[in-house]
Amino acid sequence: MAVVAVLSVIAAGCGASDVEVPVPRPPASAVSLCRAFHDRLPQRLHGLKRRSTSPRSALVTAWGSPAVVVRCGVVRPAGLHPTSELAVINGINWLAVPPDHPVTFTAVGRHAYVEVTVPPKYTPPGDVLNELTAAIKSTIPANSDATL
């Protein structure tokens, strides 16, 4: 269901207006981590300029058209299981949905989940995810008990 919501965000984000993105509601323990993560995000991602989002939130950031959207503090992905196949990019574990042609990637195994929607136009999506790893690593610690 989250993928459908995020895909509608991509469609809504094709113009010059604000990108409409649902704001996550993380637990209080993740809010400060997500704000610090937001502050570390680049003005340009994959060569794309940052865009305004609606509603405005330090938990959501977007770049380009169609928009690459990052949401910090999302709920644990429904498809995440101990046996889930994860992509590891620069030390960050990512769950890709759908697995065969991923559009939504969620960084897992950290104190806050970070969801990234990468429209198919931007290939390979791993390049976009790689540009986010430094901000994730510096602000959202890995779970010390190796939980996803």
Secondary structure (H, E, C), the chain: CHHHHHHHHHHHCCCCCCEECCCCCCCHHHHHHHHHHHHHCCCEECCEEEECEECCCCCEEEECCCCEEEEEEECCCCCCCCCCCCEEECCEEEEEECCCCCCEEEEECECCEEEEECCCCCCCHHHHHHHHHHHHHHHCCECCCCCC
pTM assigned to the model:
0.87
What pLDDT, on the 0 to 100 scale, is given for residue 33?
A: 97
Confidence check: pLDDT of 9 > 50: no
Mean pLDDT for the chain overall: 89
Average pLDDT over residues 133-140: 97
pLDDT of residue 103: 92
